[in-house]
Amino acid sequence: MDLLIVGSGFFGLTIAERAAASGRKVTVIDRRHHIGGNAYTENEPTTGIEVHKYGAHLFHTSNATVWEYVNRFTQFTNYVHRVYTTHKGVVYPLPINLGTINQFFQAAYTPGEARDLIQELAGEFDPKQANNLEERAIGLIGRPLYEAFIRDYTAKQWQTDPKELPAEIISRLPVRYTYDNRYFNDTWEGLPVDGYTAWLERMADHANIEVKLSTDFFDESQPLNKKATVGQVPIVYTGPVDRYFDYTEGELSWRTLDFEQDVLDIPDFQGTSVMNYADADAPYTRIHEFKHFHPERADRYPTDKTVIVREYSRFATRADEPYYPVNTAEDRAGLLAYRDLAKGEQDVLFGGRLGTYQYLDMHMAIGSALSMWNNQLA
């Protein structure tokens, strides 16, 4: 074995694929019983509808290198992601655009009029100088829209004072003065034609790659554990960075999600793939209806049944799957301490969403793995 990779998510598989293609022998271990990390999907057995087991995953990128790379393993559908939100019993389009603004203010503003209004409402904060999520959001859209669509959703999602959250979280959502309600701004987007799992499996399908599932790096009863391998073979570690160091610098805070899945005997539950719930009275943040991700599969999917998943967010304990880095000031201090420790680990590189404690989308995880391969490993 030339390289041990801990974690078979997009980061680990990209490193594995590149290493294998250049003739190196690689072993990938994952503590889960399947490959693919959080992008893994499986078909709901009674309907055959593809369900994203760890939350809906939409692929989008403006990075030409990443786009060329991912197209080696899968074709993409022409799905364009659009999200709606329910506030006080009324459905609005997201991200906040001219349609949202006109519906909210019961008006027919032109782009210029809407811009002037928002500028007036948003005067409290300059979004460029914002120190936290609340200041950035109010600076971008003004307090009334913030209170309707962001404040309570964010409280449910993060259970952290928006003044403590990094401003970057809200910069993920564009604000537009047109009726364009594409959720993402990127050049390319789509869903893998035959599903995420088929894509992930093709990345791992190489004679030089061995995958060992249900294998935990910290389980000393299995031979490829931390104690036995660090210093013996180069390692790319994509699990949680605080766990690697046994939490010596404190626990970094993560959000986890709970998913409640129902198969309903109706053709259509909500008419769209993702409906957010902006208000505090709905305990979930959003509902996914998976058949709407693949309208091109209409002839394969049942017409009389649908699969929905309600998503709930809460703080992760050590026993939970860590999904979102919360990234408070305290977390950032802890992360710096872990980065120092990481530098001292012989032949161990830390990568991916968990290994770097970064809110990485798939294209970012793949892009950063390609960079690590080219710059540090190749």
Active-site positions? 172, 176, 255, 286, 311, 359, 361
Q: Which residues contact 157 (CB under 8 A, 6 or more apart)?
A: 255, 285, 313, 324
The residue (of 226 and 255) whose beta carbon lies closer to ligand UDP is 255
Contact 268, 301 (CB under 8 A): no
Quick note: the x/- pattern for ligand FAD over 31-50, rule CB under 6 A, is xx----xxx-----------
Q: Which range in 61-69, 121-129, 151-159, 225-233 contacts ligand UDP by CB under 6 A?
A: 151-159
Q: Of the ranges 88-96, 97-105, 161-169, 361-369, which one interacts with ligand FAD (CB under 6 A)?
A: 361-369
Of 218-237, binders to ligand FAD (CB under 6 A) are: 218
CA separation, residue 325 to residues 166, 261, 356 (Å): 11, 24, 10
Q: β-strands 274-277, 209-212: how paired?
A: unpaired
Question: Which of 32-40, 110-118, 145-153, 348-356 is the region at the interface with ligand UDP (rule: CB under 6 A)?
Answer: 145-153
360 binds ligand UDP (CB under 6 A): no
Instruction: Decide if residue 294 touches ligand FAD (CB under 6 A).
Output: no
94 binds, among ligand UDP, ligand FAD, none (CB under 5 to 8 A by kind): ligand UDP
Q: What is the C-alpha separation between 52 and 57, in angstroms, rounded?
A: 7
Binding site partner of 318, from ligand FAD, ligand UDP, none, Cβ cut-off 5-8 A by kind:
none
Q: How many CA atoms lie within 13 A of 224 on its CB side?
A: 25
Q: For residue 16, what are the CA distances in angstroms to 7, 61, 72?
A: 10, 21, 15
Q: State yes or no: residue 154 binds ligand UDP (CB under 6 A).
A: yes
Question: Within a 10 A sphere around the Cβ of 208, how many other Cβ atoms?
Answer: 18
Interface positions, 318-357, toward ligand FAD (CB under 6 A): 323, 352-354
Reduce the DSSP state of residue 222 to 3 states and report it. coil
Inter-residue contact 54 to 34 (CB < 8 Å): no
Contact flag: residue 84 with ligand UDP (CB under 6 A):
no
We find the least distance from the C-beta atom of residue 149 to ligand FAD, in angstroms, to be 19
Q: How many CA atoms lie within 13 A of 164 on its CB side?
A: 14
Rounded to a whole number of angstroms, the minimum distance from the CB of residue 174 to ligand UDP is 10
Write phi, then psi, for 31 (nearest 5 degrees): -75, -20
State the Rg of the chain over Cα. Answer: 22
The residue with tokens 């389980």 is 219
Binding site for ligand UDP (CB under 6 A): 85, 94, 149-150, 153-154, 157, 169-170, 172-173, 276, 278
Binding site for ligand FAD (CB under 6 A): 6-12, 29-32, 37-39, 54-59, 216-218, 238-239, 257, 323, 352-354, 360-363, 365
